[in-house]
Structure formats: structure tokens, C-alpha cells
Amino acid sequence: MKKITDRPFVMCLMMTSVDGKILSEKWGSSSKVKSLLTAFEKTHEQIGVGAWIVGRTTMEKDFTNFEPRILKKGHQEIERNDFVAAYTGDSFAIAIDAEAKLGWKKATMQGDHVITILTEKVEDAYLTHLKDIGVSYLFAGNTKVDLKIALKKLHQLFGIEKLMLEGGAHINGSFLNEELIDELHQLILPIADGTIETATLFEVDKSVKRKAATVMKLKQVQQIENDVLWLTYTFN
């Protein structure tokens, strides 16, 4: 593993169909599919990285269940300083939420301390609520999240040395575009999605894409339970 001193070592862990699609809700609910989907959590636990990060859409869909955001009533004026709440342990659930849309009700997610990455345009009433419930927040830009700033702050303020990136497609694409992924763990399930509209592993808007393609080096191939392939790539 290469040495990085100013940010976490970023591993991207994603589960895909053989045609590179990532939205498992499109794959049905048969017992076979449900059995295949367990590969993700099992692999996550096997890798053993306690800090994980996702985009707002993934957090909302898979974890906060589309809870509406909460704005604290009354008049507040909050300086745009990072807030590190009291927490225990060394596991973190981190969300990239530039628009401050996530509805948080508590300071933990599946036992992990919540950290949300915001921009400075967020309302004071939203920040007041986060402080009240003990959710940590970091600012990483005025109107758009700068991932390099976010990663440096996660390293400096929380001591995070390794970070697991787990989607969705646009956040994965943003990390890829900024050359901030150090290792890719792709679980290829024996499923063919076949849909046109379903998101793929990495998606980068053509207006910001920096180069034609990213070349990786295959580090390891494993066939695990239920004919799932676990591919590990490093980035040159």
C-alpha cells in the first residue's frame, strides 16, 4: 500500500452486475439474488475499514430512508467553522452533501459516528440542528464540495488513515476524476442487468472529465461464494 501523508488511503468497494451496473434494486427479489447481495457486507467486513463515505443520493436511499431535513426554529448565526462533535470509537459514516439535503435524526449510523461534508451556503438553522444532535460537519468549499479539502480535513480532524468509498456512480466518478482513489475492489455478481438507464460503476460529466480513461493495474482475482468475482485493482 502506497504511503499517503495528508489524506486517507481511499479504497472504492462496489458491487456490480457483469455489465457494470450498480443499482441492485433493479435485479429483483428472488432468494438467489438476495443471497448474492450479501457479498457486499461480507467483503466490507473482511477488508475491515471502519470509515466509509457515500454520496447524498446513496445515503438518502440506503440509510436515512429519505427523511426530510430538519431546520432548527429560531434565529441563529453560526460561523462557518468545522464542528467535531463528541464521539467514541474509530468508525465513521461520512456523507458528501453539498446541498445540505439529508435529514439526520441522530449522530450515529449503524453504530458509526456521522460526519457530513457541506458547503458554506448551508443555512444556519440546519447547522444548529446538527450541533444539537451531535453530528459532526466539515466545510469543503463555498458552493461546491472540493474533495481534496474534504479528505485532508477527515485526516487532520479525525485521524482517518483509510477510507472506504461506496458510491454512488457520480461520487465514485468525482473521486476517479480527481485521482483520489488508490485501490478498487469490484465485486462482479453473476447477474446481467441489461437496462440502459441504470447507473454504472463510475460516471463523470463530460464537462469536467479530465482525461479519456484511467488505467489501472490488476492486483488480485478471487472467486468467492456464489460465483462472485472479487477483483482488486491499484491505480498507477
Q: Using CA atoms, how far apart are residues 87 and 72, in angstroms rounded to an integer?
A: 22
CA distance 38 to 126: 35
The CA-atom distances, in angstroms, between 74 and each of 78, 100, 119, 130 are 12, 19, 22, 15
Dihedral pair phi/psi, residue 131, rounded to 5°: -65, -40
**Predicted TM-score (pTM) of this structure:** 0.94
Per-residue pLDDT of the chain (236 residues; tens, 9 = 90+): 667 789 999 999 999 999 999 989 889 999 999 999 999 999 999 999 999 999 999 999 999 999 999 999 887 789 999 999 999 999 999 999 999 999 999 999 999 999 999 999 999 999 999 999 999 999 999 999 999 999 999 999 999 999 999 999 999 999 999 999 999 999 999 999 999 889 999 999 999 999 899 999 999 999 999 999 999 999 97
How far is 124 from 145, CA to CA, in rounded Å? 18
Domains of the chain with CATH codes: 9-235 (3.40.430.10)
Number of residues that this document lists for the chain: 236
φ, ψ of residue 142 to 5 degrees: the values are -80, -50
